[in-house]
Chain A
């Protein structure tokens, strides 16, 4: 028997149970810990291959139920997702917020993202795409400030528009192919048809919204910046994997078709714009979390560019960079959370934290070097692969932009490091710092993530071995003249 659906069903059931345990703090705490442990085991229980609910191709191949596809590449993504989710849940245990709501929403988010990554039928993908936007807004509302409500409402209004347009795109694809199953739909797309162009374009709108590519980068960055540090770690994980999931589906459907080349260019342009906008906006920020939020957008651009190249190497590099980015950016957001427990996140009011938390500072420095692409950390490995993929299709200008953006990232990261940890401060501030405790669970999560940064940086084949098969299946080799 195949237990694959448990990846989606188990977190949903736990989310409902957590919701019923309102007010019973101890029970919620123990159950959260147990769930966090089980989440890590979940990606290993499913078998590879297709999984169909309620049959497939019942009458002349017209009616078919929910379909999932599980393979090593998707397994690697879900392993990372479950790791981050359980670390964030464990960190959240030490925090006194409306505890069970946070756990409920995170688990719903986990279920939706795994469904988006696994989905092999478009409507299932759409349903969870909508759920994830409610979940993200809800996680932001948890911080309870007025700014958070504004950011969440903005996100939901734009989100409803983008989701409705994406559903219209799905309608177009359904009208021109007669099926929603992705593997079946591929066979009907060979002839070009204006309706299919419309469907593809509207799918790209949904992709840009779900992953914070331009023109949606501002609302997405606002969303990250307004929530608590460890919740932002969760939120940016969600959007990176939405990007990977949707992009893999678009590539699986259209890659290699003659009319895909212009959409190809649009996707690459979106990725490059996200890279540049993100890093330029980040250089201007004086709020630490907002700075990190714009870097999350910028790194999303790297992932989108790599995947949009559409070659096997580009796809591997894109997914690998998504995984690496999720790891080090979560570490950075957790670092921001630890700092904000001392004194907010305004860079001009912080300083002199190095003697108080030398280990945290060291781990955050490792994550900062990783995001700027310095060897031997994991960011270097995937950025190198991305540049290589761009050179392979004869687009050296993309590799150059990637390197320039990396330099911008390094500059703003080091500026933030100086302002938070090294800048000298007066006696009074030091006393204020000493009165407040460091959340120990967050430091533990930070340690695990930093260790992963170094391990993957030393041996990237730990992850890339999982990715090559699927990338060769959906990727197409080509070279521009």
Chain B
């Protein structure tokens, strides 16, 4: 009951903050990117709040309990992604004036085919990313109130779409900034309490290194025997995936200038680094107090279950409620950002017929439609690891939009044919490998790693295809204004 109360309180506060932002959300720029009027501090908090998803709050500790300490490389990669974002895309993307990746493709190549192809890839990435968020909501609600899994999923879809349909990005920015604080406090404070109340014996046991693979600070896929390859593949996917994530790109337009956008990215690194110190506590203590979760397969619930297992009585219930509210904040803010990007792709890029229409209404319809599909996809996904799905979303982004943006921003020779070939190769290779790793038992060895963590080969593959096809002049040459289009991305405006 306490858990439900805490989640209810969180929802009510979020709605109140959202309503504060509604008044300003009247046009598409307001709705999508808050018309560049968000202060840098809030903006960095909102980006971090949106980025720290159920994968970080629930999935990281869960996968760590299941597979070992090496899972924390995901957190390192998630953070390192913002170094790549600051260095490669933040400033130029802000200057391009493109709200979405398809917009950027249009700016750089003026090809409607590429635009549509990009929009389809946006849908793939966003749905891959949304499903684990809704799964998290279903699992947490089930834990704190006993409702069936599907109730949480449906409720999550409803809450998120209603709050976006009414408020858009401007509202979402403040709500997400607030959610970063909620997540940090609601994970950090219980973590510290748990460390102290665990007792000396269990604390030492949690830090004890045994001879199993669990204690090795490297990631492995099953028992493939190639932990360094798997680790590097995950690092490539998470670091470069952040560069290509549509909802991350969209965020830089809430900054007033390219310079501010870059600085905001640095601020995000600080906020993420602080947050990621804490999920490890739940993974380490979970191994001592709730090892049975590994047998039942519910490792994603360890963050919520652990406080009750360590602290008895009402205090334990309270801590559980706090953590549950933090987890709810995680999936709420992430899924609102994801849904917005998804809706942008659906209505802005795919459905545009060239006739001016009621843009906002179509956007809102797209939000509802996108949420509905995500809910339907999440219903059978109860037993899939949150972090595995999110890892694939990053791998697809790293193999498609990362090459497109990086080459588009830093190389004037990119052609339409090259971009199309690279995008197609990247999306087919990465989703194909992920699907194959589910349906084909590969056994131990390099192949298992390269299927389950495909970024190690799909990212270089996509880059190579995009570059090589662009160089074949028989398939088209760069547009005559390509050089100007590239230079403009790096030339400071007077307002910078």
Do A and B come from the same complex?
no
